[in-house]
Structure 1
């Protein structure tokens, strides 16, 4: 009987209670240096952990354009080149203001960076720093994002 209850939970009850993932768009921002490529990480506003710029869909913009907009707002990224094709995705649970969490599927786009602005919408709310891809992969929490960073 125990197996029957487990099957009912997994196939019927659990999907009823679990919300489908929401979609976000994210940017892996890179630059070339004499020592090899570097990745820009920023801190989250709430926990201070290292993340990449990401956000909810923006009306009138596709995924790549949304990722570019988020990179500007959150990190002051001035793009040199935006890859219009997603390089991958990662999943995570976003904690909302009320303490609940929702599953999120983030599509990732690569942006080659020309420069970083000093004045941008979230200046002073986050730290930003360049890292070699391997080190960036070790600093982020999401395993799928870490794997994308290791491939750079």
Structure 2
């Protein structure tokens, strides 16, 4: 390692900040006939990659309420959100100014009961209901892939709706 690359690496470590917090909803439903579980993926507005609805903390709102709000704004879904986190994942968020910040995303399960046809971000996102295996293959974040796989396994093993005990 050259002296310049070592200095650059050390400066980068010194400037590293703790991850910024975000809240997300892993939206799911059961197919009416087969009772198979599907999860909802949305595209990000900037890169078009597949993600789950997520956003920044909101003044006066608890984490699960933020996740529920983001699910409505980004995907037009309403339902029953779990107050307890199901799990967490990390990813690098590209900001408008070109910088990247590390984010820690707290994920809440949301069982979808209704879909609204006209929602705030309808024209800037695509939505798709897919099984857990396909959803995990589409998202880029390894920890999110793991969460989706774990959720699918829990539901396949007969769980009605995983609660905080699932967030191990």
Q: Distance between the aligned counterparts of 2:103 and 2:93, measured in 1? A: 7
Do structure 1's residue 65 and structure 2's residue 65 form an aligned pair? yes
Equivalent in the alignment of 1:28: 26
* RMSD across aligned positions (CA): 1.8
Q: Distance between the aligned counterparts of 1:13 and 1:51, measured in 2? A: 31
Q: Which runs of 4+ in 1 moved over 2 A?
A: 12-15
Normalised by the size of structure 1, how large is the TM-score? Answer: 0.89
Measured at CA, do residues 14 and 97 of structure 1 come closer, stay the same or move farther in structure 2, by a change above 3 Å? closer
Equivalent in the alignment of 1:40: 40
Q: Distance between the aligned counterparts of 2:146 and 2:123, measured in 1? A: 29
Q: Distance between the aligned counterparts of 2:15 and 2:121, measured in 1? A: 35
Structure 2 unaligned residues grouped into runs of 5+? 152-168
Q: List aligned pairs for 1:102-141, cutoff 5 A.
A: 102-141=101-140
Equivalent in the alignment of 2:164: none
How far has the Cα of 1:14 moved from its partner?
4.2
Cα deviation per residue 1:36-86 (whole Å; 9 max; x = unaligned)?
10000000111111000000001111110000000000000111x211100
Normalised by the size of structure 2, how large is the TM-score? Answer: 0.81
Equivalent in the alignment of 1:51: 51
Equivalent in the alignment of 1:89: 88
Q: Distance between the aligned counterparts of 1:140 and 1:91, measured in 2? A: 13
Q: Distance between the aligned counterparts of 1:99 and 1:69, measured in 2? A: 27
- Paired residues in the alignment total 146
